[in-house]
Structure 1
Amino acid sequence: MNPNIKPSAQVALLAVKDPVSQAAATVTSGWLSMANVQAILAVIQTGVLGTAATVDAKLRQATSSAGADAKDITGKAITQLVKASNDNDQAMINCRSDELDVNGGFTHVELSITVGTAASVISAAVWGFYPRYQPASHVDSVVEVID
C-alpha cells in the first residue's frame, strides 16, 4: 500500500442512480466498459419501499457500449428485497472483469434494477476498482474531489 496515493485516484465512480421514488419499472446504469478497471462494485440502496413492493438487481454483460448480445452475468443478482423486511437496506454485487464471458468478446457491464408492484425509494452507484491507469476517471457528475 502506498499512503501517498489518494483513495479517489484508485477507485472510480462509474455510474450513479440518484435517490428517487422509482415507479414500478426497470432502470439501468447504461453500459460501462471494463477496459480500464479490473473489478466493479455495484451498491444498491433502498429507502422506504411502497406497499408490497419488491426490488431486484443484477449485472448484465454485452459486447459493446450499445448493449449488443446482452445477457445476464451468472451469479450476479441479489436476493429480492421486499417491503416486509428491506426498507432502508443496502445490497452489493462484486464482479471481476474475468467473470465476464471474455471468450465471447463481452467487455461491458450494466446494473439493472427492477422495482415491482409499487413506487419505492432507491439509489445506486457502480464503483470501478484497480484502474489500469491512475488517476481513476470518474463519471461526469462528480463535480469536485478534495485532496
Structure 2
Amino acid sequence: MFPMNVKASEQIAVLGTVNPSSQAAGAAVSGWISVLQFQKFLALIMVGAIGASGTVDAKIQQAQDASGTAAKDVTGKAITQLAAAGGGNVQVAINLDVQELDTNNGFAYIQLSVTTAVAASLTAAMVLGFNPRFAPASDFNAATVPQIVG
C-alpha cells in the first residue's frame, strides 16, 4: 500500500503520445520509448468518429534501440480492429509488462502504432509508465508534458 500523501503523478508518467487529430489513412506512432525506468505500461487509444467504411487498428511494437532497429510486434498486444459500423467514440487499453518483451535479444524500446484505413478518423493515444524504478515517475514524462498541477 502506498502512503496517502503520494501523488498519482509521482507513480505514473506520460511516456509517449499520438496527438489528437483527424488521422488520415496510415500509421501514427508514439516514437520509441525506453522501458528501462518502468515495470508496467498502459497504452490508451481514444477513437472518435471513424470515417465512412474506415477502420482503426493499434498495437505495441518493440525494438532494440531508439532508432527502431529490428522492430517487431509484441505478441498479443494488438486491439481487435474497430470499424465505422459501431466502432467509434470508444477507448481501448493495452496492458504491457516489461517481461513480455524479447529482452533476451536486447529489445528494450516500445512504441504504440495507431493505423487508420480507408478514411480519416479521429484518434488520440498515449503510453503511460507504471511502477517506476526510481521515483518520482514524473521525472520521466515526455517533453510534451509542460505542467503538473497540484
Q: TM-score range by the shorter chain?
A: over 0.9
Q: Distance in 1 between matches of 2:108 and 2:39?
A: 11
**What is the match of residue 67 of structure 2?**
66
Distance 1:66 1:18 in 2: 20
Q: Which residue does 2:52 correspond to in 1?
A: 51
Per-residue deviation, residues 81-106 of structure 1 (Å, max 9, x unmatched): 00001110111101000100011111
Q: What residue identity is the alignment partner of 2:123?
A: I
% identical aligned pairs: 45
User: Following the alignment from structure 2 to structure 1, what is the Cα–Cα distance between the partners of residues 19 and 73?
Assistant: 23
Q: Report the CA distance between 1:18 and its aligned residue.
A: 1.9
Residue equivalent to 2:23: 22
Give secondary structure in 2 for the equivalent of 1:52. Answer: coil
SS of the equivalent of 2:69 reads: coil
5+ long unaligned stretches in structure 1: none
1:141 is displaced (CA, Å) by: 1.4
Q: Name the counterpart of 1:86.
A: 87
The residue aligned with 1:141 is 144
Q: Tell me the CA shift for residue 54 of structure 1.
A: 0.2
Shift of 1:144: 1.2
Matches within 5 A, 1:75-114: 75-114=76-115
Matched letter for residue 145 of structure 1: I
CA distance in 1, matches of 2:73, 2:17: 20
Amino acid across the alignment from 1:67: G
What TM-score do you get using the length of structure 2 for normalisation?
0.96
Cα distance, 1:120 vs structure 2: 0.5
Q: Deviations over 1:29-86 (max 9, x none)?
A: 1100000011110000111110000000000000101101111100000000000011
TM-score scaled by length of structure 1: 0.98
Query: What is the RMSD computed on CA atoms of the aligned residues?
Result: 0.7
Counterpart residue type for residue 76 of structure 1: K
Which secondary structure does the structure 2 equivalent of 1:2 belong to?
A: coil
Aligned to 1:123: 124
